[in-house]
Structure 1
Amino acid sequence: MKTKAVLSQTEVSQILGAARTEARNNQWAVSIAIVDDGGHPLALERLDGCAPISAYIAMEKARTSALGRRESKGYEDMVNGGRHAFLSAPLLTSLEGGVPIIVDGQVIGAVGVSGVKAEHDAQVASAGAQCLK
């Protein structure tokens, strides 16, 4: 039987704090979502000034990354590369900004960010996802 790490509220708080710090250091108003490996919500924070829809988009980016076991940008690249069928895939958001949280080679959750340019969303998400290393 295999074993793997799981996110506790301690790690979720650390991840949220690292992502929030990255966003604030760059003066980016974003929403930050954290999910477990099944895409279930663990945390959501919408920073002051961020559009309400970003909270929904951030959660979907995180869910996509957790369930797909990869950055959500990979799906965006597929669609932009001509594989338009991915637009109809269930439980999938083809937008950059979802980053998996990987511990000991296993995806244990993901961070999704929305509110600014796609590459900046991904930068904030990466800051959160990588803070446990």
Structure 2
Amino acid sequence: MKTKPFLTLEDVKIIAAAAEAEALANNWAVTFSIVDDGGHLLWLQRLDGAPPVSSHISPAKAKTAALSRRESKIYEDVINGGRVSFLSAPEIEGMLEGGVPVIVDGHVIGAVGVSGVKSEQDAQIAKAGIAALVGTP
């Protein structure tokens, strides 16, 4: 029997605090979500001024990163490259940059998704949150 790490509530709070700090330091109004390795929502936080739709996009990006075990940007790049068939992939809806997996000891234990600013800024916030827990994502 193998074992693997998992996100605790305390871990989620660490990620959330760092993501919030990164967004506020840059004056970015975003929503960020944290999910477990199965894409199940553990945390959603919508900062003041964040667009309402970001509360739907953020968890979708996180779920995509968790289930696929890779950054959601990969899907955006593939689709922009002409492989639009990925738009019909089951259970994957957030195929935009801003979803980043949380990896510990080679195991994907969850993901962070951010929505509300430019995609690369969304990813920056997600990575800042993850870095507070595990170092460089």
Counterparts of residues 23-62 of structure 1 (less than 5 Å): 23-62=23-62
TM-score normalised to the size of structure 2?
Answer: 0.95
Counterparts of 2:107 and 2:52, CA distance in 1: 32
- What is the CA RMSD across the aligned residues, in angstroms? 0.7
Map of 1:126 onto structure 2:
127
Question: Is there any run of 5+ residues in structure 2 with no aligned partner, and where?
Answer: none
Counterparts of 1:8 and 1:128, CA distance in 2: 15
TM-score normalised to the size of structure 1?
Answer: 0.98
Counterparts of 1:15 and 1:124, CA distance in 2: 10
Q: CA deviation at 1:130?
A: 2.1
Counterparts of 2:104 and 2:131, CA distance in 1: 9
Match status 1:112 vs 2:97: no
Counterparts of 1:66 and 1:129, CA distance in 2: 13
Counterparts of 1:130 and 1:102, CA distance in 2: 10
Map of 1:67 onto structure 2:
67
Detail structure 1 runs of 4+ shifted over 6 Å in the superposition.
none
| Equivalenced residues, count | 133
Question: Is there any run of 5+ residues in structure 1 with no aligned partner, and where?
Answer: none
